[in-house]
Structure 1
Amino acid sequence: MKRCAFCNVGSRGDLQPLIALALALKAKGTWEVVLISEESGRALAESFALEFRAVAGDSTGIMFEEEYAEMLAKGKLMAMIKESERRKKTWYDQASKDWVETTKDVQMIVSGPFCYNETFCVAEKLGVPWIPLLYGPLYPTRDFPNPFVMESNWFSWLNLLSFNFLYWALWKQQAADVNAFRSQLGLEPLLCSRGLMSVIEEKELLVIGAFHEVFIPTLKVPADWPANFFFKNFPFTPKNSESCSPELQQFLLNNKGNVIYLGLGSMPAPRPRELLELAERIVRTLKVKAILCAGWSNVESSTDLQEDILVIKSCPHDLVFPQCQVILHHAGVGTSAATLRSGVPSVCLPVMLDQFYNAKQLTRLGVAPPSIAFQNVASSPDSVIEALRCCLESPMMAEQAKELCSRLEESDGATQSVEKVLDTYFPS
């Protein structure tokens, strides 16, 4: 039986799309699958009964340190990124060796974005297919700009340049380390201007997009996206009612139709006490109940609100979100996808990176009011209350959320992506 490695590093949101694809491939019955990531991903892999192999590194650990959590709270993202890059250099050599060792028995590699370079190199050395996963509409196009570079949609040539500039800048930073790794593997150096994006375009490699058409800024597929860029939907893991604790099930049952969800996904909250205080203010002002997902901190609600706020470590989004009235979240791509699938409006409190783009897209779609940066929540909690009130009192927003839910239910992103991969590289 052939074996496929699904690879990435980062938080749960960075691994979950790969897990969905791994489960879809495993269900075919003709492939074994393995998830390869840093040690922090082991528990998640094992919760889905997937084989796990570890590589050196701790990419997410910095977010749980008080000093850097405070940087997030104040919006000092560049300083945090700089420190993350410094730390990565301390484990890069060992991680490179681990990528070689953990993939030596596989016949295909599917890779998330944070280990593209390493997984591409080992796939080339092994002579096996390499399939990169894009978590958003980040394939170069003239129709809209790269959201990491600029927001305004100006001229087609400038839009395209915004993508190419970012890939060029990233490759300039990574080229020396990647080519040193290639030399160790006995491979020729990559002499290209934009790293693996140049390779993908030149060789017309299959790229899987882990998103639905509704997440494209223009809400339509760009005409200049090539046929080798395949996407149908967000890849979701199968629903599992057993993953919902009895306590959580009872809370939802007792407060049916009057529950607000509040959480930052797998991210630690900058200043978790502020998130708890926000939940308490919401409950008192709007007369609702709240689920506070706060696994990163042992916080407890006030004694007089213990029956109104359920504090939990984690929850299955696919089971809980549809039973809520509004979902307050950080707008990570995975959580944003789960809210769209739930048919429930959102209030977005983005913290960093693509979360601001994702939040803006939910607003464009008519299922969320304008977002509020988490760093501004403590100084303007009333703005969050008003955003919630907008969701609760808007029949139009509720109807739009249900319509988008129906669209996402029309296709199985994980299964269709796996079938595309197999048809391309292993046709029957």
Structure 2
Amino acid sequence: MRVLIVTAGSRGDVAPFTGLGRRLRQAGHQVALAAHDRFAGLVRECGLEYRALPGDPLEMVRARTAAPSPEDARSVFAAFLDDLGEGVVSAVAAGTDVLLTAFGPAPLSRLVAEGFGIPSLGVYLVPGVPTREFSPPGWPVTGEPSPADNLAAGRELLARTDALYSGVRRRLRARLDLPAAGGASDTSDDWPICHGFSPAVVSRPADWPAMAHVTGYWWPAVPPEWRPSDALTDFLRAGPPPVYVGFGSMTADNERLPEIVAAAVKRAGVRAVVQSGWAGLGTAGDDILLVGDLPHEWLFPRTAAVVHHAGAGTTGAGLRAGVPAVPVPVLLDQPFWAARLHGLGVAPPPLPLRELTAENLSAALRSCLDRPAYRDRAAELARRIRAEDGAAEVVSLVAHLEGGRGRRS
């Protein structure tokens, strides 16, 4: 069976699906992964077929940030979505029997699957179904919201998403010769959604519909040819385990961020591996090694603690490694995961990036390193997470969907 996984966004939105794709391939399926061109090499190195999606998420973020007005920013995003919708159509048309879609492109992917008459399945890295148990990731939380507040926030967030995608969905319906209205709702209870995080991190809400699953993490595949650089292996051998500092795909325009990181590392008396990321960190120092993209699952177990933006994938990698964290959230789902890390007892209170200083960062690092409770709790959680097989449930659901195949004429 030909399985297509569609995702959009940063590396953290792509990497987990390389591991999931490998598991599906091991189960006997032909697997393609549709993503933006900057991740073509990653997909192919992991042994999966690559299908291109137009647009560059980094350039889109920069263009939205530089837009002179909110209306111009919305126009930038609308054009990005229009191109993305056409890209999903092309990716499916290349040969697909079952479509798996990440949360971001789900409103488009699901509609395209309907147009091609093939079954689809949500594969989400963040909670994507409203619940009374917590506010949805990306929703600003103040005080202690009630269960009713949480549910209302989840529904409102989905309504806002529907509004953002309404124009491109309308054009896609015409493009695919679908009725102008009708078809399955994006929030219907009978559409299967698998959430790729551990129930030990976010337990499955009791009020979720039966078709919403929490499977456990889908770990990124490490390209078989990847090897750490000599500089990295030499640095790791030259002293005690360093801390990791990286903010992934965040494009923070704080010019002082490299200075803050360097000063915090020095004040805390630690060595550090700093990942430049999209923020372009150029942090330098005697006890600092600057690196580019590399597999977190290889590096994190070799560190004493990890400082990161609390994206879903980086959060999971740190938990799997069993090391404490210093979460520095910026936007979207990051405050949700940052609060979850603190609540799980593996991290001190989050330090929002806009509030970051050398003083509070160094204090948080020393707290991670000096309090055994953080590391003990991280090790305990890691044992539970490593025992899970998050991909197995997805493989099983895909096998069930196979009976529902069939293409529109």
TM-score (norm: length of structure 1): 0.86
**What SS does the corresponding residue of 2:89 show, helix, strand or coil?**
helix
Going from structure 1 to structure 2, the CA distance change for 1:406 and 1:3 (only over 3 Å counts) comes to same
Going from structure 1 to structure 2, the CA distance change for 1:298 and 1:386 (only over 3 Å counts) comes to closer
How do 1:37-116 and structure 2 match up within 5 A?
Answer: 37-63=35-61, 68=65, 84-104=73-93, 105-116=95-106
C-alpha separation between the residues in 2 aligned to 1:311 and 1:160? 43
How do 1:203-282 and structure 2 match up within 5 A?
Answer: 204-216=190-202, 220-239=203-222, 242-257=226-241, 259-271=242-254, 274-282=256-264
What does residue 32 of structure 1 align with?
30
Q: What is the one-letter code of the residue matched to 2:33?
A: L
Going from structure 1 to structure 2, the CA distance change for 1:18 and 1:82 (only over 3 Å counts) comes to farther
Q: What is the one-letter code of the residue matched to 1:249?
A: T
Could you tell me which of 141, 147, 164 is aligned with 1:156?
147
The question of whether the paired residues in 2 share the 8 Å contact of 1:18 and 1:112 is answered with no
C-alpha separation between the residues in 2 aligned to 1:15 and 1:237? 9
The answer to whether structure 1 residue 186 and structure 2 residue 177 are counterparts is yes
C-alpha separation between the residues in 2 aligned to 1:137 and 1:295? 25
Q: How many residues align?
A: 400
Could you tell me which of 391, 396, 406 is aligned with 2:368?
391
The question of whether the paired residues in 2 share the 8 Å contact of 1:111 and 1:132 is answered with yes
| Residues 177-217 of structure 1: CA deviation (Å, up to 9, x unaligned) | 3123112211113448x9511xx32xx1211111111332x
The answer to whether structure 1 residue 335 and structure 2 residue 314 are counterparts is yes
In structure 2, list runs of 5 or more residues that go unmatched: 405-409
Identity of aligned residues (%): 28
C-alpha separation between the residues in 1 aligned to 2:98 and 2:256? 45
What does residue 407 of structure 2 align with?
none
The question of whether the paired residues in 1 share the 8 Å contact of 2:127 and 2:137 is answered with no
C-alpha separation between the residues in 2 aligned to 1:263 and 1:165? 32
Q: What is the one-letter code of the residue matched to 2:121?
A: I
Q: What is the one-letter code of the residue matched to 2:216?
A: N
| Residues 368-394 of structure 1: CA deviation (Å, up to 9, x unaligned) | 1111111222xx320111111111110
The question of whether the paired residues in 1 share the 8 Å contact of 2:309 and 2:328 is answered with yes
**What SS does the corresponding residue of 2:57 show, helix, strand or coil?**
coil
What does residue 167 of structure 1 align with?
158
Going from structure 1 to structure 2, the CA distance change for 1:123 and 1:40 (only over 3 Å counts) comes to same
C-alpha separation between the residues in 1 aligned to 2:180 and 2:123? 23
Going from structure 1 to structure 2, the CA distance change for 1:91 and 1:309 (only over 3 Å counts) comes to closer
C-alpha separation between the residues in 1 aligned to 2:313 and 2:171? 34
The question of whether the paired residues in 1 share the 8 Å contact of 2:138 and 2:334 is answered with no
State the Cα RMSD in Å. Answer: 2.6
1:276 deviates by 2.6
The question of whether the paired residues in 2 share the 8 Å contact of 1:282 and 1:385 is answered with yes
Going from structure 1 to structure 2, the CA distance change for 1:375 and 1:326 (only over 3 Å counts) comes to same
C-alpha separation between the residues in 2 aligned to 1:409 and 1:91? 37
Q: What is the one-letter code of the residue matched to 2:229?
A: S
Could you tell me which of 267, 274, 283 is aligned with 1:292?
274
How do 1:354-369 and structure 2 match up within 5 A?
Answer: 354-369=333-348
1:64 deviates by 5.2
The question of whether the paired residues in 1 share the 8 Å contact of 2:126 and 2:137 is answered with no
C-alpha separation between the residues in 1 aligned to 2:295 and 2:101? 24
How do 1:299-314 and structure 2 match up within 5 A?
Answer: 299=282, 301-302=284-285, 305=286, 308-314=287-293
1:226 deviates by 2.2
| Residues 331-354 of structure 1: CA deviation (Å, up to 9, x unaligned) | 111100111111100111111111
Going from structure 1 to structure 2, the CA distance change for 1:382 and 1:411 (only over 3 Å counts) comes to same
What does residue 23 of structure 1 align with?
22
What does residue 76 of structure 1 align with?
none
| Residues 56-82 of structure 1: CA deviation (Å, up to 9, x unaligned) | 2223214457x939x9xxxxxxx9986
C-alpha separation between the residues in 1 aligned to 2:230 and 2:222? 16
The question of whether the paired residues in 2 share the 8 Å contact of 1:23 and 1:237 is answered with no
Q: Which range is displaced more, 313-322 or 337-346? A: 313-322
Going from structure 1 to structure 2, the CA distance change for 1:92 and 1:136 (only over 3 Å counts) comes to closer
The question of whether the paired residues in 1 share the 8 Å contact of 2:103 and 2:124 is answered with yes
What does residue 393 of structure 2 align with?
416
C-alpha separation between the residues in 1 aligned to 2:18 and 2:381? 24
Could you tell me which of 282, 302, 325 is aligned with 1:323?
302
